[in-house]
Amino acid sequence: ITLADGFGHRWAEILMSTFLQGRAEDLGRLDRLTGDGDFGNNITSALRRAQQSIDAQEPQDYRGRLTAVSRGFLGTGGTSGPLFGMFFRDLAHCSDGGEPTLGELSDGLTAAVATVQRYGKAEVGHKTMIDALVPAARTLESLVPGTDPVQALHRTAQAAIEGARSTADLVAKRGRASYVGEVARGVLDPGAAAAAIVLQAAAAAQST
Ligand code: ADP
Ligand code: MG
Ligand code: MG
């Protein structure tokens, strides 16, 4: 089943509007508690750059839009910039260029998560974006055969949200939050929360 016409377009747009209208700033506050506080700026500048390149080049297909998002992140500092950059690059390449099928998106998400793990060496439980991404990719894989795409993407986003919530109870084993030990317990990981928002945006892009 191919995702709805304009899925890539709406996914990119919802990402920009959600993060640029305050969500990135909220997540930056979390990074201030357990890291160096730049997460909000990192994600905002990545998406501003993506928006500028979309405005300038007007990419017309799924791959073009997701590639603009990927490049926005790849040009950004912090640990999350390159990791999200590579994540979106794998997703950009999951189809022949047009809107992916649900199966292609699932394979793309699984590949993207593997890439983040290859570079970042984080496992589930290390209090990173991986805590949201791994359950999301597994959920989508399990739902590909025979599930309506709107349902499948909502349940995928739900798995990411639950995974992100689970990071609050953890002490970090990767990233700057690992430098502060017990201080990070009780604080949500901003990268995991951002990953959950990315997948919520995908669900919204399919259902509207
Ligand atoms: P920095 O710590 O370099 O300032 P950012 O603030 O841009 O990085 O991003 C912090 C987020 O990056 C964390 O909330 C976490 O989710 C994610 N992160 C950090 N290290 C890793 C890693 N090794 N693997 C996956 N994600 C990571
Ligand atoms: Mg930071
Ligand atoms: Mg930093």
pLDDT digits 0-9 by tens, 115-149: 999 999 999 999 999 999 999 999 999 999 989 99
- Cα 150 from Cα 34, distance rounded (Å): 35
ipTM, two decimals: 0.99
CATH topology of domain 7-207: 1.25.40
pLDDT of 44 strictly over 90: yes
pLDDT of residue 208: 73
Where exactly are the structural domains of the chain? Answer: 7-207
Is ligand 1 within 6 A of the CB of residue 175?
Answer: yes
- Cα 34 from Cα 18, distance rounded (Å): 23
- b/e map of 61-75 (b: 16 or more CB within 10 Å)? ebbbbbbbbbbbbbe
Give the Å distance between the CA of 53 and the centre of ligand 3. Answer: 24
- Name the residue at shortest CA distance from atom 4 of ligand 1: 78
pLDDT digits 0-9 by tens, 159-193: 999 999 999 999 999 999 999 999 999 999 999 99
pLDDT of residue 195: 98
pTM (2 d.p.): 0.98
CB contact at 8 A, 20 and 47? yes
Is ligand 1 within 6 A of the CB of residue 104?
Answer: no
pLDDT digits 0-9 by tens, 68-112: 999 999 999 899 999 999 999 999 999 999 999 999 999 999 999
- With the most atoms of ligand 1 within 8 angstroms of its CB, the residue from 31, 39, 79 to mutate is 79
